[in-house]
Every structure is written in C-alpha cells, then in structure tokens.
Amino acid sequence: MFVKSEPASALFAGPFALATLSAQDGPAFPALVTPDGLVADLRTALAEPGLTVLGLLEDWPARLPRLRALAADGSLERAALADFRVHAPVAPRQVFQSGANYRQHVIDLHVAHRAPGDERPEDERRAEAAEIMDRRAAEDLPYVFIGLPSAITGPYDDVVLPAWAQKPDWELEVAAVIGRAAYRVSAEEALEYVAGYTIANDLTDRATVFRRDMPQIGTDWLRSKNAPGFTPLGPWIVPAESVADPGDLRLVLKLNGETMQDESTKDMIFDVARVVSYASQSARLLPGDLVLTGSPAGNGMHWGRLLRDGDVMDASVTGLGAQRTLCVAEES
C-alpha cells in the first residue's frame, strides 16, 4: 500500500526518523525521513549499497552522529514520502513481549474475573486489585515472553485474520528498539541500550491463549500471537534522543473511527527501563531487537467486540507517528 504522508507536524518528534521503504516493484531500502515528509535513500547518502536499517542499528553509537548531520544537510537529495511504500522499519532477530503491564488494564481484568462466591461490591474488589498492583510494582518482576519476527508486517499492510482465529483482538504497544548488545544490564542503565522507539500492534487470538487439551500447560503464545502479519510495526523508528520521556506517551487505538484504547505509558506497572533490564537478565538483547512493553486497557475483550473482516484500526503514539491497518478474513 502506498500512503499519503501526514501533515508535517504530525509525522514524529525530532529532526529525523529511520524507515524501510520501497518504490513500486523495487527493493526495500533504509531511509532517513524528516518531519516535512521527505526521505533520503541512506544507501546513496552513506555510499553503502547493501545497507539496511538493521545494519545501522548494529553500529548505532557511531552511526547516530552521521545521521544527525545528514538530517541537517540541506543539499541532500530527497524525495516525497508519499511516493514510496512503507514497510516495517526493521527486521529484528528477536522479539520480546511484555504482558499484564498496565495498571488499569490488569485491575479491570481482576474485577471482571470475580471468584465464585465473591459477592463483595465492585469498589471493594477494585481497591483490592489496586493494592495488588502497587505491591507488584514494588516487589515483583515484569512478565516477558518471546514473539516471532515472522509475525511482523508493515504499518499500512492488510492484516489477514486466520480462519481458525475465533477471537482476534488488538493490543497497541510502544516498542523499544535495541541499539547495543545488552546482557544483564541494570534498570538504571537500560535506556542507554535503546536506540529508539516505534509502534507495535500485538494482535492476539483470545480463543487460543490457553490450551484446552491440557490446561495445566498454561498459555500458548505461539498459537495465539504469531500468525503472519499479527504484529503491524512502524511506520518508523524515532531515535530515543527525540523522545523526551518514554514514560509519558499517549497511546490511542481507534476501531472504525471509534476510540477503544486511550491511555498513557504513565500507567505502566514496570517502565521501559525495567522491562528492558529484566529481559536482558536471561537473554542477550541484540541490536535491532524489539522489546514490546505491554498494552493498556481497552482491548476487544473489554468491549465485547473482537476484530472481523473489514475492520480498520488506526493506532498512534505521541511523537512516534501512526499506522492504519485493514483486517481481511482469510479465504477458506
């Protein structure tokens, strides 16, 4: 899909972002995008024909000053963003996903799943859930699991709803993009390893989250979250230095024009730094890897309205841009 660029003031925060683009029937290439809706082919600007966004991230500390200079170079050859197809901004080697990480969302789930025989009023049960969330933030650890890079698709690509997915749902998230290899880093230093941020919509089939054939196994994230195209990503990576506070970003998802999710990252139980640090305690995070940080209240299960053929999702995050995806039912 080729898209018209947004108004210059709405593209993203900061002087530039990184994207992966292609011309009609041409190969994908790394691009430097400026807020006025112009793009420069970084293969040409840096004289590296085989360059990719992942290649830039693998040497991020050295590349960043050069990219700043290119963004400020008025003589750099540029073209209109609207003339290109926008792909997912990076092809990561690893995807780390965080669950149950927004306070209000988890409280709503706690209240909705009333234990048998619990006749207490909602206010009392909600206060109990809030206390649990405070204790969890102070004493517990983030919940992180693994996703598949093959589930990633572009920010404007159609999303195919598999015929077997009975309850496909949306989950708008902020994704941190790693810029330096990170292993066992502290929360205090974790953001030093983040190159930038992008938007992810972590689609989930609620009907297959839990195994029915053997409930004691628990969750089945492979089945429920990793269908091809279940992670629309982008449209671009905004450098971390352009995001004033990742703990104060507004996430909004609209379904067919109606607002479903509208929350701030202030509501996170574990902030970006704690999630990145936690993931690095067990795994070595590599440049270009994604760390998804959880989704706020307002998923389809909350509204009793799941995704179906013809639905259009518009998702935006402060300073990171916006994505639009059309849901298409898989042909049987």
Tokens 């998804």, residue located: 292
SS3 31: strand
H or E element: which one contains 34? Answer: strand 29-34
pLDDT of residue 217: 83
Query: Measured on CA atoms in the order 226, 229, 231, 233, is the torsion positive or negative?
Result: positive
- pLDDT for position 1: 39
CATH topology of domain 95-329: Fumarylacetoacetate hydrolase; domain 2 (3.90.850)
Q: What angle do CA 222, 321, 80 make, to 5 degrees?
A: 115
Average pLDDT over all residues of the chain? 93
- Domain extents for the chain? 8-86, 95-329
Residue 2: per-residue pLDDT: 37
Q: pTM for this structure? A: 0.93
Structure tokens at 278: 């936690």
- Is the predicted pLDDT of residue 6 greater than 70, yes or no? no
- Give the sign of the dihedral formed by CA 233, CA 235, CA 236, CA 238: negative
Q: Please give the pLDDT value at position 113.
A: 63
